[in-house]
């Protein structure tokens, strides 16, 4: 996405580098939280008390919300910072971001009760 040829006439090297750092920062945050979420979800739940499970459930929900927010931020970064209107006047767009994960998780959780 940050190759020298892509949008080479659209932004300076400094601006491209700044946007690359912003994108990579969001990407690293997303990876970190996905790994934390995955670690929590891969625990042997059979061995935990109900209090510990409740704490893990809360942690999972928090991580899920953070991951969703980071996905939204990355989407906005791509759409607004990287693919926004070009100098040549072309508009680039990507498919709309739809977050239904939290709603589906809550719905699934309600079905489990």
Phi, psi of 49 (to 5 degrees): -75, 165
pLDDT of residue 111: 59
Residues 49-53 have a mean pLDDT of 93
Name which of 92, 93, 74, 61 is nearest 28 in CA terms: 74
Check whether 90 has a pLDDT greater than 90.
no
- The three-state secondary structure class of 113 is coil
Report the mean per-residue pLDDT for the chain.
Answer: 80
pLDDT for residue 13: 80
Mean pLDDT of 23-48: 92
- For the cut 60, the answer to whether the pLDDT of residue 85 exceeds it is no
Neighbours of 63 (CB within 10 A): 19
Q: d(Cα 58, Cα 83) in Å, to the nearest integer?
A: 36
Residues near 78 by Cβ (< 8 Å), separated by ≥ 6?
Answer: 1, 23, 94
pTM of the predicted protein model: 0.72
| pLDDT value, residue 30 | 95
Strand locations in the chain (E): none
């Amino acid at each position: 996405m940050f190759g020298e040829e892509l949008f080479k006439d659209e932004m300076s090297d400094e601006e491209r580098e700044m946007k690359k750092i912003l994108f990579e920062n969001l990407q690293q945050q997303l990876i970190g939280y996905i790994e934390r979420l995955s670690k929590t979800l891969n625990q042997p739940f059979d061995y935990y008390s109900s209090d510990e499970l409740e704490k893990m459930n809360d942690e999972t929900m928090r991580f899920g919300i953070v991951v969703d927010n980071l996905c939204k931020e990355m989407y906005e970064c791509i759409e607004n910072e990287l693919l926004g209107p070009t100098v040549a006047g072309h508009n680039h767009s990507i498919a709309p971001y739809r977050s239904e994960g939290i709603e589906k998780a809550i719905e699934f959780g309600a079905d489990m009760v």
